[in-house]
Structure 1
Amino acid sequence: MTGVALGVDIGGSTTRALAVDATGAVVGRGVAGGGNPNTNGPAAAAGQLLTAVNAALSGSEVAACVIGMAGSSALLDPAVAAEFDVVFDLLHPRVVTDAEVAFASGTSSAVGTVLISGTGSIAGRITGRELVATYGGFGWLLGDEGSAFWIGREAVRFTLYALQSGKPLSPLAEAVLAAAGLPLTGDPRIPFGRLIRQVNREEPIRLARFAPLVPSVDDPAAQDIVSRAAGALASQALAVHDSGPVVLAGAVLQTVVGARVRELLLGHEVVDAKDGTVGAAWLASLDAFGNNAVRPQV
């Protein structure tokens, strides 16, 4: 089949497209704003997708297209799907989950497990390069254990208990207060109350901003949070794992948390996910050029 294989990775903040030929060589790239219809609105999201795709194609014919989309379930709504019709009529894409794209970015295997920990967390079993089972992914209120939200919340909770105790603050508590813009005064009740009010005023997901502090400080409390996060994530992966590699995806798993997860998954093949567009373009290459398709040379 002639033409290019087009892979698109759609997230809440960016939409990225990658076009490759039958040899795996990159022939075009495109980047635009967020394309998640749930967070960006259907019309705006579809517009960003079109911008990224046009930049990547530059007039090339599309042999096959795979789109990995966070929020893909929104397309079940006819009103949302209608906004994407212009782009989809052009591309005739196969829309998959971001978990499937993440898995494909890290391995050529058709079976295995993908573990994602970014703002939220979820594990999924992959069979035939399709997501067939999940564990977790309930959102911040009901789950997302080991995610950036969860780690940030634990750091803030620890800080509040430390302030309540009246004892000298540890490095983690000091780092949380500094990040919140709340210097410690002589009376710990002042930052205690301000931190509670600040966190409760904001969107809950904003707690994720404290997550990077945890692996960056030398503090037993931080090490405890890291250990508990890694334990929760490894348990999620093992809950759905059957065979094949475990692909780690998401910013949290690129930190010491990920290193600890690897230790807990000793005996399993563990690999890191790469750019989501690579996974999407690889899946599109399989559709376009068959099972012997060359992985994108990125």
Structure 2
Amino acid sequence: MPLYLCCDCGGSKTSAVIVDAAGTVVGRALAGPSNFAYLSLEEFLAAVSTAVSNALKTCTTPASVDPIPLPLTEETFAAAWFGVSGVDSPAAIATITPALGRVLNLPLGPRLVVANDTHLLAAPVRMHKEIVHAVSIIGGTGAIAVSFKEAESGLEELGRVGGWGWILGDEGGGFHVGREAVRQMLVEHDRASVASEPPRHSPLKDNILKAFGVNDVLEVLTEVHVAAAPSTKLDVAPHLLMPREKRLSTLSPLVFDAAFSKRDPFALDVLKICAGLLAEQVLMLLGRRTDSSPRLVDASEAVACFGGSLVAIEGYRNLVLKHLEEKGQVFKYVEVIDDAAAIGARGLAASFEK
């Protein structure tokens, strides 16, 4: 029975899923982080090996109590697909691929694919036989949009927008949501300083002040900008032990709760701004293909594949889609991917068994 492996290698965990030829999940396991941007090759391989070995335990008859030893036999996997955070260059792929090939005993070539983790989200294009284009839209702590075409050789990346990290971009991601909430608080405060009307009252504003332990909007500035306190210091507010970017990204749940649970108009306005900027990045990938712009994707002939904790929330995802619709771009299909490794494994099996 042919088995297909897909690994979603991220900054918080490594997820390995194994499916049979029909796409049925027959094994899965988790291991530690495997974002290649922050790990050595040895550390990366250790995390992947643990996840794959443990996932294989349930694929044996009877199920194995002990992890399956690596490297594997040549017949273990028909093919494998790795989506790796932090892999953004041919050089990184060239470093990882031979090492994985030795661990899995797979030859370099179509049976062993290593790419950025955004590629996994595009796997649903293989489930819709009449289309060949997909756009992966990631909105989690960070944000990125990538377009693809299904070709004979596999998924071909057409365009990429965003994913620059919190200092330079990530519009529409969790850091941006927290930052924009504070910015809009300050904007309304500044506007009120020259207007006759006070700023809007907002449950979100109250919760942000409470999170920072202050009573006035302008006091937030110090709490955001001051350097992080040493981790050994005990008599300090918890947020001051965080790096500056975390102080803002951790505000994101407060914004979503206020917008969708408390129906706070101020919070909803913040999310409209963030969703709009994420949609604008997606729009850069869309349009009518011409000889001069052959890499554009026609949304009406493509699937939008959403992944990440923020765009998994229906209300926020609908804000993104509404902005796209207002710009004349409506996707033929919309998929929400909550298990990238599983959808990737099924897509891999479908591509080999068709």
Q: Is TM (by shorter chain) over 0.5?
A: yes
Q: Deviations over 1:161-189 (max 9, x none)?
A: 56776867632221112233x142xx766
Match among 134, 137, 142 for residue 112 of structure 1? 134
> What count of residue pairs does the alignment treat as equivalent?
284
Identity of aligned pairs, percent? 29
1:115-142 deviation line (CA, Å, top 9, x unaligned): 1111111111110133221122222222
CA distance in 2: counterparts of 1:201 and 1:157, whole angstroms: 22
What CA deviation, in whole Å up to 9, does each residue of 1:58-104 have, x standing for no partner? 358111110111112378259x937x855431323311221110121
CA pair 77-261 structure 1, distance change in 2 beyond 3 A? closer
Tell me the residue number matched to 1:123: 145
Question: Any conservation in 1 of the 2:24–2:346 contact (CA below 8 Å)?
Answer: no
List alignment gaps of at least 5 residues for structure 2. Answer: 58-67, 69-74, 107-111, 229-239, 287-296
Aligned residue number for residue 226 of structure 2: 197
Letter in 1 for 2:280: S
The question of whether the paired residues in 2 share the 8 Å contact of 1:14 and 1:32 is answered with yes
Partner of 1:231: 276
Higher relative contact order (CA 8 A, sep 6+): 1
Contact kept? 1:100, 1:130, Cα under 8 Å: no
Say if 2:96 is the partner of 1:88.
Answer: no
Q: Does 1:64 align with 2:64?
A: no
Change (3 A) 1:247 1:15: same
Of 245, 251, 262, the residue aligned with 2:321 is 262
Rg larger in structure: 2
Aligned position for 1:54 = 53
> SS of the counterpart of 1:272?
strand
TM-score (norm 2): 0.71
Q: Which runs of 5+ in 1 are unaligned?
A: 293-298
The one of 172, 185, 202 aligned to 2:204 = 172
Which residue number corresponds to residue 345 of structure 2? 281
Q: C-alpha deviations, 1:242-278, integer Å up to 9, x for none?
A: 1311112111112322121122334323221231112
Kept after mapping to 2: 8 A contact 1:135/1:236: yes
CA contact (8 A) 2:12 2:33 kept: yes
The residue number in structure 2 matching 1:11 is 10
Secondary structure of the 2:4 match is strand
- Find the aligned partners of 2:34 and 2:170 in 1 and give their Cα distance: 23
Q: Distance in 1 between matches of 2:126 and 2:186?
A: 42
Amino acid at match of 2:138: I
Instruction: Calculate the TM-score normalised by the size of structure 1.
Output: 0.83
- CA displacement at 1:197 relative to structure 2: 2.1
Letter in 2 for 1:14: K
